[in-house]
Amino acid sequence: MRHLFLLLLLTTVACRQGSSQQTSQATTPKAADTTDFYQTKTPAYDGIGRVYMGREISEVMGHLGAGWLERSDREQEERTDLLADALGLKPTDVIADIGAGTGYFSFRLARLVPQGKVLAVDIQPEMIEYLTAGKRKAKTPNVEPVLGTITDPKLPANSVDLALLVDAYHEFSNPREMIDNVVKSLRPGGRVVLVEYRAEDPNVPIKEHHKMTEAQAAKEMKAAGLRLLNNDRRLPQQHILIFGK
């Protein structure tokens, strides 16, 4: 119990403003070779020194932050219970939960698509173990853990109705390649949804590089052929940014 408390405390401090690195170098995915999409700079205290379209990419929360994802007050603090209503899901939808982590959203959404499925994508094998164990515990056979890479979520082409990225996109070391591959996986009418802490609001108590503005997100998605359909504002601290082709 003492170990669990210390882990939760450390991960909470890591995600909140004024903290040290979220993970050690051993748990931070290494970026692929720099392409014309990216520039480099001296890293900020919560950045990796890699810049995409004017935005420095943030550090990564690794599997050691699992306690933060599953904290008991998350629903009350973030109102995660409101997110599903904003997605307009159908029972047959195929959802890609990209950066699924422990499956906090994967298992909840799986119950809303009983004739569909949730492809729970993560690049860390440790998170795939969490997802596999959680699938058995939650009794959600329509959740399929998928081990992706930093450039490719490994989703079949033309297979996904909705790609959901909750507090994940800002950490992608290769966002352009990842979103290009996500777009390839979309069915006609498919959507990409970014849930990101609002950088426009200085009262959101999250480190700078772990927040995004609507304008920055729209600019980056436009580069991948997506346009902003809606910014649903029902959450207290986060954007729900819905994009389509």
Q: Residue 220 is part of a domain; what is its CATH number?
A: 3.40.50.150
DSSP letter, residue 206: B
pLDDT at 12: 37
Confidence band for 81, pLDDT divided at 50, 70 and 90 = confident
Confidence band for 235, pLDDT divided at 50, 70 and 90 = very high
Is 14 within the bounds of a domain?
Answer: no
d(CA 43, CA 211): 16
Confidence band for 67, pLDDT divided at 50, 70 and 90 = low
Is 5 within the bounds of a domain?
Answer: no
Is 156 within the bounds of a domain?
Answer: yes
Cα 201 → chain centroid: 20
Q: Which pair of tokens denotes residue 232?
A: 């649903």
What's the farthest any 2 CA atoms get from each other in the chain?
50
In the predicted model, what is the mean pLDDT of the chain? Answer: 84
Is 183 within the bounds of a domain?
Answer: yes
DSSP characters over 28-45: SPPPPPP-TTEEE-PPPT
Is 49 within the bounds of a domain?
Answer: no
- The number of distinct structural domains making up the chain is 1
Is 124 within the bounds of a domain?
Answer: yes
The model's pLDDT over 187-212, given as tens digits with 9 standing for 90+, comes to 999 999 999 999 999 999 899 999 99
Angle 11-30-36 from CA coordinates, rounded to 5°? 125
Is 158 within the bounds of a domain?
Answer: yes
The model's pLDDT over 88-145, given as tens digits with 9 standing for 90+, comes to 999 999 999 999 988 989 999 999 999 999 999 999 999 999 899 999 999 999 999 9
Is 65 within the bounds of a domain?
Answer: no
Cα 117 → chain centroid: 18
Q: Which residue range forms the structural domain that includes residue 223?
A: 76-245
Confidence band for 77, pLDDT divided at 50, 70 and 90 = low
Q: What is the pTM of this model?
A: 0.83
pLDDT for 19 beyond 50: no
Phi-psi region of 109 (alpha: psi -120 to 50; beta: other; left: phi over 0): alpha
pLDDT at 50: 97
DSSP letter, residue 195: E
- Residue 54: partners with Cβ closer than 8 Å, 6 or more residues away: 216
Higher pLDDT, 62 or 68: 62
Q: Which pair of tokens denotes residue 41?
A: 């700079």
Amino acid at position 106, single letter: S
pLDDT at 60: 85
DSSP letter, residue 81: G
**Mean pLDDT in residue range 47-75:** 74
d(CA 94, CA 144): 11
